[in-house]
Amino acid sequence: MTMTETTTAETFPRTDIAALARDVVKIYGRGDTAVRALDGATLSIPAGRFTAVMGPSGSGKSTLMHALAGLDTVDGGQVLVGDTDLGRLNERQRTLLRREHVGFVFQSFNLVPTLTAAENIVLPLTLAGRRADQAWIDEIVAMLGLADRLRHRPAELSGGQQQRVAVARALAARPRIIFADEPTGNLDSRSGEAVLGFLRHAAHELGQTIVMVTHDANAAAYADQVAFLADGRVAGELRDPEVADILARMARLGEREK
């Protein structure tokens, strides 16, 4: 793999962008205690690709993901999901957009303990009052190797199996974009590698857009590109990343903060 640096939001043609943050500012607190979690961050998320977001602690990577996902409003700049400007939506409209177009995979799985794996997978569709596309669900279940676990509740599944159910749930409604927040943080290395392989497969074979926040260079190397944040701004990107390249970039960002 070769390393290519990019730093602008115009890397990909507009029609190929699933989400875009442009000059985004997010401030927590007021006065002397105010913290600029994002300070003019600009990042484009290419459609049908797997993007990892990395940065030192406090760099703003989780805040940026929350802004792109419509989980949090911003204090300046613009956030688009597809052609929709999130800044023009009220809270109810943002909730509907997330329900219809956004999927989530969390470090803690966030499965409903009283539901079976099958019921957890279709839960977003159930809540939205939508009928499941059973052929699509069957394809996802087969891809993730869950066919013999569908009647099990979360407590009867291993951590890796629970996270695969969470990935299936995120894919079930065919969202425009899936956000994964440290999805392998609670998994052993083998289970983590399996989940990362599924996410990569979802992007390359199913055309799904994946955005993953991670601190793990080995996890980020599964992505098609890695965006690096520092001091609330995007400090560069790597295409087709390798672990050594990621570690070198993170080391340079660490030096900047000293």
Residues 35-57: tens digit of each pLDDT: 999 999 999 999 999 999 999 98
Please name the residue that has the structure tokens 């660490």: 254
Alpha helices in the chain (DSSP H): 61-68, 91-101, 117-121, 123-128, 134-143, 159-172, 189-206, 217-220, 243-257
pLDDT at 249: 93
Asked if residue 255 has pLDDT above 80, the reply is: no
pLDDT band at 256 (very low <50, low <70, confident <90, very high): low
> CATH assignment of 48-60+88-257?
3.40.50.300
Q: Which is more confident, 226 or 96?
A: 226
The predicted model scores a pTM of 0.88
Helix, strand, coil proportions of the chain in percent (round to 5)? 40, 25, 35
Mean pLDDT of all residues in 28-33: 86
Q: Any idea which of 78-82, 154-158, 181-185, 225-229 has the lowest mean pLDDT?
A: 181-185
Mean pLDDT of all residues in 107-119: 94
Mean pLDDT of all residues in 84-113: 92
